[in-house]
Chains A and B, each alone.
Chain A
Amino acid sequence: MSCNCNSKSDFSLLEPCLAEYGSVKGSLITILQKAQEIYGYLPTDVILHISKRTGVKVTKIMGVATFYSQFRLEPVGKYLIMLCQGTACHVNGSQQIEKTVNEYLGIKDGETTEDGLFTLKNVACLGCCSLSPVMMINDETYGSLTPEKAVEIFDELKKRAGEENL
């Protein structure tokens, strides 16, 4: 994990959440989820700030952040590819799709492309088993995947990102 304790996150963005949940016991996971929604991941300075504001010890926060697979301690690319590793997807060829991501985008599980566009994360069952193999990219679900279809989707997203930058 790269040290980013010198970076400054804008804590004011988290204030509404902390005002609502900061003193409600048992709200740690909710606060962390909101923080990740805002910052894209859980920066160290944000974790320290949450500890200060809620009184929950940093060790406990880190324990929770590292326990649940939803939480990220590193930033991710613009498009987070969540590749389903459920049973039905496995039986219907998710390994081939993973290979396609490895070869076409050049990234393995947990890695981000050099241009910061794509991050690959293998995830547990997404619950769209009849469309296996399935992947979710940000909030969109793509099913009935083939290596060719996956490549088409990545190309389309690359194009979209390029257009947004113009």
Chain B
Amino acid sequence: MRIAVGQGSCGIAAGAVKAYNVFENNLNLAENELTVTGCIGMCYLEPIVDVYDGDCLHRFVRVGEDAAKRIADAVNRRDFSDTADIEISDEDRSFLEKQTRIALRHCGIINPEKIEDYIADDGYKALAKVLNTMSTEQVIDEIKLSGLAGRGGAGFPTWFKWNAARQSEGDCKYLICNADEGDPGAFMDRAVIESDPHNLIEGMLIAAYAIGASEAVVYVRAEYPLAIKRLEKAIGEARRKGFIGNNIMGSGFSCEMRIKAGAGAFVCGEETALIESLEGSRGMPRLKPPFPAQSGYWRKPSNINNVETFANVSWIILNGGSAFSAMGTENSKGTKVFALTGKIKRGGLVEIPMGQTLRHVIFDIGGGIKNGKEFKAVQMGGPSGGCIPAELLDTVIDYKALSATGAIMGSGGMVVMDSDTCMVEMARFFLDFTAKESCGKCVHCRLGTKRMLEILTRITEGNGKEEDIDLLRELCLAVKDGALCGLGQTAPNPVLTTLKYFENEYIGHIRDKQCAAHECTALLRYEINSDACRGCTLCAKKCPVNAIAGTVKNPHIIDADKCIKCGNCKSVCRFGAVEVK
């Protein structure tokens, strides 16, 4: 049998290495194969162990050391009759079954550190097909037929960018992969690199061939050490097999590949800022035009694509562009990977054809809101995106349809929120992020995000003014209009969408000094319900600022002026007498 222990970053953080060690020490390794896979994307079930018994798969979830021992015994005895309780449930099985995996097709299935696993599943066959039988125009035509659009968030037609770079003059061109993945809440690129690095490499080599580049660089954010390690290993393996370097597969096409680690700057996800960073400078965007296709890395023609975009290329070449465009909608073809997180029951990576509804992803696949709470909004597109409310849950996943809501498809982050999430605080949270990450080059973004943050902070602290809402809107439109790059141009989106769909919360904060979600501490009032209070004095004892007065067996009272809203009284009260308003 083949025992595969999932070891993506999340799996490892959940204890996968400990489980692996148990297998190493207890499995009959003479008869069975123990291996490592990457991230299958069912993060809420990690650590995950797959046991392949011929064609039969036993998938074990939440595998701690005890469970690992039980599984090892079952494998050695070839008897799984008493491990059913730790196998995946039918409900959880549906999380994967409802997906259509193309970019993620090998993730969690193959060993990312063994090129042989990749080759065994048609690995590098697409590259061979391209180098042996297709011209650069034919490759680009196939990508055009597929309708593949940039998966990093901009959704720009991939074939167009490749073609522009191909047509640019010059014999020195660069192919760059944007693996900066700075959107908070997004980790699909990390999963691809940690779990299927060869798929990325193959896609990049095909693109390099198409545009005529002889050097490829992967810009990976510093916060992904495991991804960098696995990719480095994969590049080494590919080079040894002759897939990277001179005269690849005897075709006459040569291409070198290297990794460049980022150093922690969200703005470097913007392609021209990324190029500046590659050149060793501060990551400050350049004015476009000229576009990278004409003047990019070291002012040479360059093409930059996101990891997920490249992860679709080999499949498209092998199966044909029409097979890809058969899925999806009129203007959004193929599949898209989403990182479903937040207040969701089943969180993880979801890859589905474009055209399904948000409701389907969140409720049918994700299982809805955890802890029985109510859905309030889903944040899509990270700091460039927006919050989509319940009444728009039937919005179809499609670039245009999502833009129409005020949000964007973005890189695929989907953070689900319930009634305990304050939407004004959410807007403040995103502006805090973009103001910090603003490179400072242009006035509109540098000052605009700072001022928007100041206003939002005042509102969440109970110091909002009537004119703040109009001022916020005015600032938002000015920043969108005047900012140099995508960071500034989209920074106002979280504010604009929350103003559009949750204006009542802003008004509540400003006019009534109330936070409906009970999240903004400054606006909370802790009160003791005198009917429920038994006068046990515990809260008074636990209050760090002596704000509670009362005698034994008599109802206690909180002095609102002294109260710092730490919540201690509520957490120690055994009678539920402390109310938060």
Q: Which residues of A pack against B, CB within 8 Å?
A: 25-30, 32-33, 56, 60, 63-64, 67-71, 85-92, 123-132, 134, 139-144
Is A70 a contact of B9 with CB atoms below 8 Å?
A: no
**A87/B342 contact (C-beta < 8 A), A68-B265, A127-B181 known:** yes
Q: Which residue in A26, A70, A71, A91 is a CB contact (below 8 Å) of B343?
A: A91
Chain A residues, Cβ within 8 Å of B75? none
* B242 contacts A by Cβ under 8 Å: no
Question: Which residues 248-274 in B have Cβ within 8 Å of A in the complex?
Answer: 260-266
* Further 5 A-B residue pairs, CB within 8 A, beyond A123-B264, A124-B182, A129-B413: A29-B277, A86-B185, A128-B9, A128-B10, A131-B43
Asked if B10 and A143 make an inter-chain contact with CB atoms under 8 angstroms apart, the answer reads yes
Let me know if A26 and B280 touch, CB within 8 A. yes
Write 30 A-B pairs (CB below 8 A) sorted by A numbering. Answer: A26-B278, A26-B280, A30-B280, A33-B261, A33-B263, A67-B283, A67-B439, A68-B263, A68-B264, A69-B263, A69-B265, A85-B184, A87-B185, A87-B382, A88-B184, A88-B341, A91-B342, A92-B342, A124-B266, A125-B186, A127-B181, A127-B223, A128-B10, A128-B187, A129-B341, A130-B44, A130-B341, A130-B347, A131-B46, A144-B14
In the docked arrangement, what's the CA distance between A27 and B186, Å? 28
Nearest opposing residue in chain A for B284, CB measure: A67
Cβ–Cβ contact B184 & A28, under 8 A? no
The residue on A at minimum CB distance from B382 is A87
Residues of B within 8 A of A30 (CB): 260-261, 280
Q: B303: CB under 8 A from chain A?
A: no
The verdict on A91 contacting B421 (CB below 8 Å), with A69-B265, A71-B263, A125-B183 known, is yes
- Highest count of chain A CB atoms <10 Å: which of B225, B280, B430: B280
* Cα separation A70 to B182 with both chains bound (whole Å): 14
Q: Is B437 on the interface with A (CB-CB < 8 A)? A: yes
Residues of B within 8 A of A91 (CB): 342-343, 415, 417, 421
Q: Tell yes or no: B190 within 8 A of A by CB.
A: yes
Q: Is B433 an interface residue (CB 8 A)?
A: yes
Number of interface residues of B (CB under 8 A): 52
Contact call A64/B342, Cβ cutoff below 8 A: no
B222 at the interface (CB under 8 A from A): yes
Q: Which residues on the B side are within 8 Å of A68 (C-beta)?
A: 262-265, 283
Residues of chain A within 8 A (CB-CB) of B43 are 129-131
Q: CB < 8 Å: which of A67, A141, A144 contacts B265?
A: A67
Point out which of A87, A90, A128 has the most chain B C-beta atoms below 10 A from its C-beta.
A87
Smallest CB-CB separation from A91: which chain B residue?
A: B342
Q: Is residue B176 within 8 Å, beta carbon to beta carbon, of the partner chain?
A: no
Contact: A69 with B264, CB < 8 Å?
A: yes
Cβ-closest chain B residue relative to A60: B281
**Judging by beta carbons under 8 Å apart, are A141 and B12 in contact?**
yes
Taking CB atoms, residues of chain B closer than 8 Å to A69 are 263-265
In the assembly, what is the distance between CA of A91 and CA of B429, in Å? 10
In the complex, are the beta carbons of A124 and B185 less than 8 A apart?
no
Measured in the bound complex, the distance between the Cα atoms of B433 and A67 in whole Å is: 15
Interface assignment of B291: CB less than 8 Å from any CB of chain A:
no
Contact for A143 among B14, B277, B339, B413, CB less than 8 A: B14
Task: Annotate B445-470 by CB proximity to A: 1 below 8 A, 0 otherwise.
Answer: 00000000000000000000000000
A60 to B281, CA, bound (A): 8
Please tell me if the beta carbons of A70 and B13 are within 8 angstroms of each other in the complex: no
